[in-house]
Amino acid sequence: MAMLTDTIYALSSGSPPSGVSIVRISGPLTRELLTRLVGSVPADRYAAYRTIRTRNDQPVDNGLVLFFPAPNSFTGEDVAELQVHGSRAVLAALFHALEDIPGVRMAVEGEFSRRAFENGKLDLLEVEGLADLIGAETEMQRRLAIEQSAGGLSKIYDSWAERLTRARALIEAELDFPDEDDVPGSVSDMVWTDIETLRSEIEDHLAAASAGEIIRDGFKIVIAGAPNAGKSSLLNALARREVAIVTEIAGTTRDVLQVDLDIEGYLVKLYDTAGLRDAEDRVEMEGVRRARVALRDADLVLLLVDMVNPLIPDDLDPSSTHVTVGTKKDLVDVGTDQYDLQISTATGDGLPELRRLIGDIVARRFGGLSMAIPSRQRHKDSLAKCLSALDAAISKPDVDLELRTEQLRSAADYLGRITGRVDVEQLLGVIFSEFCIGK
C-alpha cells in the first residue's frame, strides 16, 4: 500500500512566516534523504547544525537536523526533523528539493499519526487525545486531552476487556472440564458476580460522558428574555467586543448569535437569542423559533428581566437550570430580591459577579470529576452497546451458558473498538482527517 511505503514529509509547525519552521520526514528513505540534503545522518536523537542543500549542491538554509531511528520514533519508522528559518521561500525551496526524489511525497492530513497507530505506537484513544490537545483552547480541555493522549483512558478500557476475557476463560474451562480437580467448581457464580460489578463500573463511567463532551465541545449558555431586556448588550459586554447590534427597536436580534468564552478554564459557548414574544413578522417568528430550540438544548439559561419594565416570558421550562438576572440596574432606584443577580451593562455594575457566578455553576457541574472520561459520541455509542451486551448476559441466567459467554465476547469487542484493538478500519479516515497535515 503506497500510503505506508512512501516516505512522507510535511511542515509540522505553524504557518510561515515564523522565526523557526519544523519539517518532519518519516519513512524508509529518511536516511537516504538526510545524506542527500545535509551530507550524512546525524547521531541518533542529537541535534546537529548543518547546511541543507539541493541535489545541485545549492544551499537552501542552515538549521538544526535531528534523526530518530525506528522503532523509537513517533511513527515507529525512521523519522527526521529539520529546523529551518520559517520563511515561505526557504520552505518552498526545501519542499522542491524533497519532491524531486522518487518515493517521497507530501503527507496528507493525519498521516504521521496514522502511521503511529498502524505501527502500534498509539491507540485510537491516544490519537484522538492528541488531536484534542493540539486544538485545546482552555485549561480543562488541555487536562482532558492530556489524560486521553497519555493513555489513562485506554488503561481503563483494556483492564475491563481483560476482566471479560478472564471471565470467558473461566466459564469455558468449567464447560470443557467439569470433572477436573484443577478447575474450581461453580466458577459461574464468582464470574457473574464480578460481571455485575463491572457493569456498574461501566454504567457510572458512561454517566460522566456528558461532562466529557461539554468540556471538549463547550458549556452552552443561552441568554433569553423579552425584547429589549438587554440580551445583546450583555453578550457584547461579556465578549468585550461588538458582536451583536444593539438598538432600542424591539426585535432587532433575528437569529441566534454565538461567542466562545474561557471562564475558569472551561469553554463556554454563549448564545444571544431573539426576544421571546408572539411575533407577527415572518423573519422575527423564525428567530423566536430558533430561540426556543436553543433554550431546549442549553446547559444553563440566563433569563434577563428589564427591571424598568419587568416582563417574564413563559417559554422557559421551570425545571431547567437557569439564573434570573435583573438588567438596567442603573435606571432603577431600589433593587429587589426577586432576582439572582442585578446588572447594568451601561456601567458594568454586576458583570464581574455574573462572570464569577457562571464560573461557579460550571465548576460545580464538574467538581471532583476525573478526567479519565469519554468525550466523543463514538465512545458513548460503544460503551452503550457494551452495557447492552452485559445486560443480555446477566439478565438471562436460564439461557445456555455458551450463549451468555458469547455476549461477554461482544461486550469486550465493543470496548476494543474504542481503542482500536479490534477492526475499526471504517473509522480511521474520519479520525485522522481531523489532524493538520504535519501531524
CATH of the domain at 269: 3.40.50.300
Q: Which whole number is the average pLDDT over 207-223?
A: 88
In a domain, 170, yes or no: yes
The grid coordinates listed for 161 are 476487556
The C-alpha cell at 185 is 467448581
**Is 233 among the annotated ligand-binding positions?**
yes
Q: Give CA–CA dist 56/333, Å, rounded.
A: 82
- 12 in a labelled binding site: no
Q: Count the Cβ atoms, other than its own, within 10 Å of residue 420.
A: 21
Domain annotation covers residue 381: yes
User: What pLDDT is recorded for position 247?
Assistant: 47
Query: DSSP string of 234-274?
Result: HHHHHHTS--S---SSTT---S-EEEEEEETTEEEEEEE--
272 assigned to a ligand binding site: yes
Are both 76 and 147 inside the same structural domain?
no
Domain ends where: 79, 94, 122? 122
Calculate what percentage of the chain has a pLDDT beyond 90. 51
385 carries a ligand binding annotation: no
Give the pLDDT band (50/70/90) at residue 424. low
Identify how many contiguous H helices and E strands the chain contains and give both numbers. Answer: 15, 12
Q: What is the mean pLDDT of residues 42-52?
A: 96
Which range marks the domain in which residue 261 is found? 216-365
Q: Alpha carbon 426 to chain centroid distance?
A: 20
CATH number at residue 416: 1.20.120.430
pLDDT mean across residues, the chain: 85
Could you tell me the pLDDT band of residue 249, with boundaries at 50, 70 and 90?
very low
**250 labelled as ligand-binding?**
yes
Pair (180, 236) in one structural domain: no
The reply to whether 97 sits in an annotated binding site is no
Average pLDDT over residues 403-413: 90
C-alpha to C-alpha distances, 259 to 61, 170, 236, 242, 245, nearest whole angstrom: 43, 55, 9, 11, 14
DSSP state of 44: B
30 marked ligand binding residue:
no
- The highest-confidence range among 165-179, 197-211, 273-287, 331-345, by mean pLDDT, is 197-211
Q: How far apart are CA 167 and CA 354, in angstroms?
A: 53
252 assigned to some structural domain: yes
Provide the pLDDT for residue 24. Answer: 97
* Same domain, residue pair 227 and 361: yes
Cβ pair 388, 374 in contact under 8 A: no
User: Domain for residue 432, yes or no?
Assistant: no
- Contact between 121 and 68 under an 8 Å Cβ cutoff? The reply is no
Asked if residue 86 belongs to a domain, the reply is: yes
Question: Would 255 be classed as within a structural domain?
Answer: yes
Q: Does 2 carry a binding-site annotation?
A: no
Residue 81 labeled ligand binder: yes
Residues 227 and 355 in one domain: yes
Residue 275 annotated as part of some ligand binding site: yes
Is 225 annotated for ligand binding?
no
Cell of 311: 416582563
Q: What is the pLDDT of residue 1?
A: 43
232 is in an annotated binding site: yes
Residue 416 has pLDDT above 60, yes or no: yes
Residue 420 known to bind ligand: no
263 and 143 co-located in one domain: no
Shared-domain flag, residues 68 and 100: yes
Same domain, 335 and 228: yes
Please tell me whether 298 is known to bind a ligand: no
- pLDDT band at residue 435 using 50, 70 and 90 as cut-offs: low
| Whether residues 221 and 355 fall in one domain | yes
Task: State which amino acid sits at residue 224.
Answer: A
Q: Is 155 annotated as a binding residue?
A: no
- The DSSP H or E segment spanning 212 is helix 209-217
Residue 389 is labelled as binding a ligand: no
Question: Could you give the number of structural domains in the chain?
Answer: 3
Do the domain assignments include residue 426?
Answer: no
pLDDT recorded at residue 309:
86
Whether 18 has a pLDDT exceeding 70, the answer reads yes
Residue 437, CA distances (Å) to 4, 14, 114, 272, 352 in order: 16, 11, 11, 35, 41
247 and 264 belong to one structural domain: yes
CA distances from 430 to 19, 225, 435 (A): 33, 40, 10
What strands lie across the sheet with 18-26, from one edge to the other?
Answer: 48-53, 59-68, 79-86, 18-26, 7-11, 104-106
